[in-house]
């Protein structure tokens, strides 16, 4: 099956698909949708951007429309569980787009966690057809008896299934299973298959059909995704990222991944020294701010996003728990010293807590990403697959570049190449990028000059400034500030954060520092008028007459008669 019309779908669904501009089925859709329409449980492994959301979304809507023809009662017929708030909103938007032709018949509700359970209660009591939410929020509504699914639920979907357990939802899923009916159809969608996925499948699936679509797409992926790596020292990463961006070796919309929030702001402040604008995306920002950044990036407002991918494996979480706890105490102490209002300090401390449902490397629909740069190499191979999956989505091409330090990161790179070469993950092997460090040594003094100014204090101040700004902009605390306007005034008049000094000469790349192979194609970003003005002033100062006139010791003259007159007066 190559077209949606061959699936026997409702005309209203076909109309919605046509409005989205989809003409042909992807591999995962052509295999999964017929099985889902036949009522079978399905476990799907397919790469990011292959159309998994539509693969289960279309059968959901088709089944709701069929049930509506035989019964007019309003009940919850489908439940979609996703691991993060961002993916919750994205999935809801996609389902609403697929049901735009029947929006008056099919009602979809998103249980976003930035609103309280009490606020969502009236919406849930209206019994929508499809509910989308994170497991923790669904459990809250089930226990509050707002959501009733035991007698009405027909379909259950768990998207990004391999990530559900790692986000700490194991207990929540156990509670949800107790509320499920005895008979229902289930879907598990994932980019990778793991032990957690198999464990989850045993809990919710009944004689499932397993689809591993990645094996069929391996040959096509070779031409779409190109992967490189550069071996370098830790400090040379900043030199490389400067050269790649300022010399325009990396062009187009790019995602730059780091492993920690502090690294996120350190890299942002470093790039600001050279007038390179970038957005920061991490778990400390409110969910509304995170989604707004993604939307603006998709619209082409920003070219670079520095994202902190903080989801580590369980061993690394246990190893870094003590260090993180100590750092959180330091941040709290710093906030308490800067703030003059206890309530204001409390707001800052609450906002600085990491969102456990944050996940930016998985599932989020970044559109038009041409490059993914791993400034810090990911801790696991699966994390690497999900990061590079942000580019080369669908039929588009993309490039992934990883900066690798000798030692631990190099070991993880070898592990990734070993797995990729076995065909366990759909991607090409990671090739070495042909780049000579000697050609950019001329920029080293500039980079070190800018890096010295990005101190730990500057990073902490930038981090708190970002939190304060986003609290003001977020709708989450709008009601609190309306009831307590003095809190908003104190928050805005907190300690002023002075920006780091930016030298004028660091904004531009002088032509004499450009590597020889790039001089023919590279154009200096210094304005022509400014360059001519500087050269004219330089030449004027080099003329002999102007130098003599400007030097009082050379232009001073004293005649013989004046000397005799001065001597007579002294006598």
User: Higher confidence at residue 83 or residue 335?
Assistant: 83
Interaxial angle between packed helices 117-125 and 135-143, expressed in degrees from 0 to 180 and rounded to the nearest 10: 70
Domain boundaries, the chain: 4-212, 231-310+358-453, 315-353+455-496, 527-563
Structurally, what CATH architecture does the domain formed by 4-212 represent?
3-Layer(aba) Sandwich (3.40)
- From 244-248, 330-334, 484-488, the region with the lowest mean pLDDT: 330-334
Closest CA to 130 of 152, 146, 162, 160: 152
Query: pTM score, two decimals?
Result: 0.72
> Rounded CA gap, 92 and 100, in Å?
12
Q: What is the pLDDT of residues 329-340, one digit of tens each?
A: 444 343 334 443
Residue 78 to residue 370: CA distance in whole angstroms: 35
Give the model's pLDDT for residue 461. 83
Q: Which CATH code fits 231-310+358-453?
A: 3.40.50.300
How high is the pLDDT of residue 152? 92
Side-chain-side CA neighbours of residue 560 (13 Å): 0
The pLDDT of residue 425 is above 80: no
Whole-number pLDDT of residue 386: 80
Give the Cα separation of 155 and 142 in Å (integer).
17
Terminal-to-terminal C-alpha distance of the chain: 118
Rounded to whole angstroms, how far apart are CA atoms 306 and 258?
7
| CA nearest to 303, candidates 370, 249, 364 | 370
Give the mean pLDDT of the chain: 79
Evaluate if residue 493 carries a pLDDT over 50: no
- Could you tell me how far CA 86 lies from the centroid of its own chain? 10
Phi-psi region of 139 (alpha: psi -120 to 50; beta: other; left: phi over 0): alpha
Residue 427: which pLDDT band, with cuts at 50, 70 and 90? Answer: very low
| Per-residue model confidence as pLDDT tens digits over 340-394 | 344 444 444 544 455 656 655 555 778 889 999 999 999 988 788 888 888 887 6
Task: List, for residues 156-195, the tens digit of each pLDDT value.
Answer: 999 988 778 777 788 899 999 999 999 999 999 987 777 7
d(CA 545, CA 102): 84
Q: Are both 4-212 and 231-310+358-453 of the same fold? A: yes
Residue 312 main-chain phi, psi, to 5 deg: -100, 165
Nearest to 274 by CA among 247, 301, 308, 236: 247
User: For residues 371 and 399, is the Cβ–Cβ distance under 8 A?
Assistant: yes
Task: Give the DSSP letter of residue 500.
Answer: P
For the cut 90, the answer to whether the pLDDT of residue 429 exceeds it is no
pLDDT of 36 above 50: yes
Rounded Cα distance, 237 and 440, in Å: 12
**Chain centre distance of CA 105:** 35
Task: Report DSSP letters for 194-209, one per residue.
Answer: -HHHHHHHHHH-SSPE
* Beta-strand pair 155-159/108-111: unpaired
Burial class (CB in 10 A: 0-12, 13-18, 19+), 118: exposed
């Amino acid at each position: 099956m190559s077209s949606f019309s061959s699936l026997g779908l409702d005309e209203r669904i076909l109309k919605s698909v046509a409005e989205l501009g989809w003409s042909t089925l992807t591999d995962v859709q052509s295999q999964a949708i017929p099985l889902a329409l036949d009522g079978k449980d399905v476990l799907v492994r397919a790469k990011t951007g292959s159309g998994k959301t539509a693969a289960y979304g279309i059968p959901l809507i088709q089944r709701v429309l069929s049930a509506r023809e035989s019964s007019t009662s309003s009940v919850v017929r489908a439940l979609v569980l996703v691991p993060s708030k961002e993916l919750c909103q994205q999935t809801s938007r996609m389902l609403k787009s697929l049901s735009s032709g029947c929006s008056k018949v099919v009602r979809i509700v998103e249980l976003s966690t930035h609103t309280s359970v009490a606020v969502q209660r009236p919406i849930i009591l209206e019994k929508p057809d499809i509910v989308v939410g994170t497991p923790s929020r669904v459990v809250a509504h089930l226990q509050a008896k707002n959501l009733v699914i035991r007698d009405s639920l027909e379909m259950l979907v768990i998207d990004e299934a391999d990530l559900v357990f790692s986000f700490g939802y194991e207990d929540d899923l156990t509670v949800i299973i107790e509320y499920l009916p005895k008979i229902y159809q289930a879907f598990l969608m994932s980019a990778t298959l793991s032990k957690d996925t198999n464990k989850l499948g045993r809990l919710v699936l009944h004689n499932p059909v397993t689809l591993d679509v990645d094996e069929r797409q391996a040959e096509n992926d070779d031409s779409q995704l190109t992967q490189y790596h550069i071996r370098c020292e830790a400090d040379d990463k900043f030199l490389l990222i400067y050269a790649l961006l300022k010399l325009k070796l990396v062009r187009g919309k790019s995602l730059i991944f780091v492993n920690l929030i502090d690294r996120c702001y350190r890299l942002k402040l470093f790039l600001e020294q050279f007038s390179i604008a970038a957005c920061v995306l991490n778990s400390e920002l409110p969910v509304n701010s995170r989604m707004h950044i993604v939307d603006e990036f998709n619209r082409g407002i920003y070219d670079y996003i520095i994202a902190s991918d903080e989801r580590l494996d369980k061993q690394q979480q246990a190893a870094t728990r003590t260090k993180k706890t100590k750092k959180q105490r330091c941040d709290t102490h710093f906030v308490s010293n800067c703030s003059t209002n206890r309530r204001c300090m409390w707001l800052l401390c609450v906002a600085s807590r990491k969102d456990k449902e944050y996940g930016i490397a998985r599932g989020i629909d970044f559109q038009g990403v041409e490059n993914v740069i791993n400034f810090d190499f990911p801790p696991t191979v699966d994390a690497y697959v999900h990061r590079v999956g942000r580019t080369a989505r669908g039929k588009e091409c993309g490039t992934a570049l990883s900066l690798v330090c000798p030692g631990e990161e190099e070991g993880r790179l070898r592990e990734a190449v070993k797995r990729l070469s076995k065909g366990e993950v759909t991607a090409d092997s990671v090739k070495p990028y042909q780049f000579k460090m000697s050609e950019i040594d001329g920029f080293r003094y500039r980079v070190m000059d800018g890096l010295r100014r990005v101190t730990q204090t500057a990073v902490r101040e930038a981090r708190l400034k970002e939190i304060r700004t986003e609290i003001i902009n977020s709708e989450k605390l709008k009601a609190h500030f309306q009831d307590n306007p003095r809190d908003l005034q104190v928050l805005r008049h907190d300690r002023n954060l002075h920006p780091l000094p930016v030298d004028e000469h660091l904004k531009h790349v002088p032509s004499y520092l450009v590597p020889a192979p790039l001089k023919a194609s590279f154009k200096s970003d210094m304005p022509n008028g400014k360059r001519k003005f500087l050269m004219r002033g330089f030449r004027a100062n080099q003329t002999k007459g102007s130098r003599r006139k400007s030097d009082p010791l050379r232009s001073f003259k004293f005649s013989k008669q004046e000397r005799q007159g001065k001597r007579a007066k002294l006598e």
